[in-house]
Amino acid sequence: MLLLTRRALLGAALASLPMVTGAFAQVRTPAPFRLTLPAPTGPRPLGTVSSHLIDRTRVDPWKASRPARELMIQIWYPARATHGHPPVPWMSPGGVAVFEREQRIPPGVLTLPTTHAHLAAPVDPGRRGRPVVLYSPGLRSDRSLGTVLIEELVSHGYLVVAIDHTYDADQVEFPGGRVETFAITGAIDDALIAKALAVRTADTRFVLDRLTALNAGRGALAGAFDLSRAGMFGHSLGGATAAAALRADRRLRAGVNLDGSLLAPLTAGTDRPFLLFGSDPGPGPEDPSWDRFWESQRGWKRELALTGSTHTSFTDLETLLPQAAPVLGLTPDQVTQAIGPLAPHRAIQAQRAYLRAFFDLHLRHRDTPLLRSPSSRYPEVRFLR
């Protein structure tokens, strides 16, 4: 993919969600059309809880009027049982209102999906706790957009913690219904992206601290986290965040960047495993930041490209947009422009397979041929190096 495409979609002014749906006309229907998410493939049922975290050591870097940095995280985990625990919506009620407004979707046209996770279902901690994977979304995005990949990992025995980075997200809903929206002002340039990465890195390290305390406590999730096997992945700016957090905190053992450009010093790489998984580069040149990262990365490394995909393909919009297109009045050509010509179910299968193979290899030490060489099962995935 061209550098311009990756970098443009890091910016709030050109964030992927408004580009995909905001400019198109919507068509009202007699009843809301319900969107769905593909079921995860693993054997384990899913539970989830959200948590409000307050870092009192930091004044909020985006809103100086907030005396502490507040975050919302969502913890996804394998559950022992789910009976009596309701399934959780894809997005919180307050978040839905902002999402519809930002995308110019008339209320009542679409019903956003329900996840496959159940609220506060009892955790299955395994024999010695579950390997932990953190997720960071793109700039002006939120944790909901990674649900399809998160659920897949959890169904195969991982515990995943999705982070909402307040004020660089479109919306974050806190307990009591308070919703904080995107609050970054000024040009989306290298200096602002560098600041956002520093803020997100501090967010990530604080979350790791809180998970350590939670694991050692007496709550329902105590003992469920094996933080000696922790990794991180993210999309767009979230992928760059994974690289930044890995450089800053050795508690993270492995990282994945889904189609995010990198700024120095992230291009210097680390001594720990890192996967670059990008959208279809087409005939254009490689992102120079990925070239620089590759040259200096000292740990295990691999670069893959998903043929027929776009930047947006690495979010839940890969499955939601084609479903919503007839209701939103989008043509097939417009959908292809947004997510590429690759069939959505194939794009999702490939992303799920390679993401899980990476963390299985580096957090569970389960070798897999999938990352050694191209696979006939996934011809859409190109091994660039």
Across 195-201, average pLDDT: 98
Across 207-220, average pLDDT: 97
Across 220-238, average pLDDT: 98
Across 157-175, average pLDDT: 98
Across 297-314, average pLDDT: 97
Across 115-131, average pLDDT: 97
Residue 29: DSSP 8-state: -
Amino acid at 227: L
The pLDDT tens digits for 54-111 are 999 999 999 999 999 999 999 999 999 999 999 999 999 999 999 998 888 888 899 9
CATH number for the region 3-383 comes to 3.40.50.1820
Q: What is the pLDDT of residue 196?
A: 97
Residues of the chain with pLDDT > 70, as a percent, come to 92
Q: What is the pLDDT of residue 105?
A: 87
Q: What is the pLDDT of residue 170?
A: 95
Across 264-290, average pLDDT: 90
Query: Measured between alpha carbons, how far is 313 from 352 in angstroms, rounded to an integer?
Result: 12
Answer yes or no: is pLDDT of 12 > 50.
Answer: no
Residues of the chain with pLDDT > 90, as a percent, come to 86
Answer yes or no: is pLDDT of 153 > 90.
Answer: yes
How much is the mean pLDDT over the chain? Answer: 92
Q: What is the pLDDT of residue 102?
A: 85
Instruction: Spell out the residues 6+ positions from residue 1 whose beta carbon is closer than 8 angstroms to its own.
Output: 259, 278, 279, 280, 281, 282, 284, 287, 305, 311
Q: What is the pLDDT of residue 90?
A: 98
Q: What is the pLDDT of residue 30?
A: 63
Confidence of residue 20 (pLDDT cuts 50, 70, 90): very low
Q: What is the pLDDT of residue 2?
A: 31
Confidence of residue 182 (pLDDT cuts 50, 70, 90): very high
Burial class (CB in 10 A: 0-12, 13-18, 19+), 349: middle
Lowest mean pLDDT among 92-106, 182-196, 263-277: 92-106
Confidence of residue 24 (pLDDT cuts 50, 70, 90): very low
Query: Measured between alpha carbons, how far is 130 from 140 in angstroms, rounded to an integer?
Result: 30
**Of 31, 43, 40, 46, nearest in space to 88 by CA:** 46
